[in-house]
């Protein structure tokens, strides 16, 4: 009897299993973190919730363009 498959269908099971495992292992998204201990105190935060393209709050952020590599000789800044 002639079959439509060039290989036995059971030979495809490992391929389907590998594809299923790969799909479960990819794209899990962010991992939830437990809350910090109650003894921790938040001392500073910035949410960057302004409109798209807006500059950060200048009372909290400044530009630091030191140039000359700052000790590791990076030429870009």
pLDDT in tens, 24-58: 666 566 778 888 899 999 899 898 888 999 999 99
Tell me the whole-structure pTM to 2 decimals. 0.34
Q: What angle do CA 31, 47, 40 make, to 5 degrees?
A: 65
User: Is residue 4 pLDDT above 70, yes or no?
Assistant: no
pLDDT in tens, 14-31: 787 777 776 666 656 677
Task: Measure the CA–CA gap between 61 and 37, rounded to whole angstroms.
Answer: 28
Residue 65, Cβ density class (10 Å: 0-12 exposed, 13-18 middle, ≥19 buried): exposed
pLDDT of 1: 59
pLDDT of 77: 53
Q: Considering only CA atoms, which of 59, 55, 64 is closest in space to residue 44?
A: 59
Higher pLDDT, 60 or 18: 60
């Amino acid at each position: 009897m002639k079959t439509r498959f060039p290989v036995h269908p059971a030979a495809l099971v490992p391929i389907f299993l590998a594809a299923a495992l790969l799909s479960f292992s990819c794209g899990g998204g962010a991992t939830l973190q437990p809350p910090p201990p109650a003894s921790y105190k938040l001392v500073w935060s910035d949410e960057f919730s302004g409109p798209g393209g807006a500059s950060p709050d200048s009372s909290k952020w400044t530009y630091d363009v030191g140039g000359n590599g700052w000790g590791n000789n990076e030429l870009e800044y």
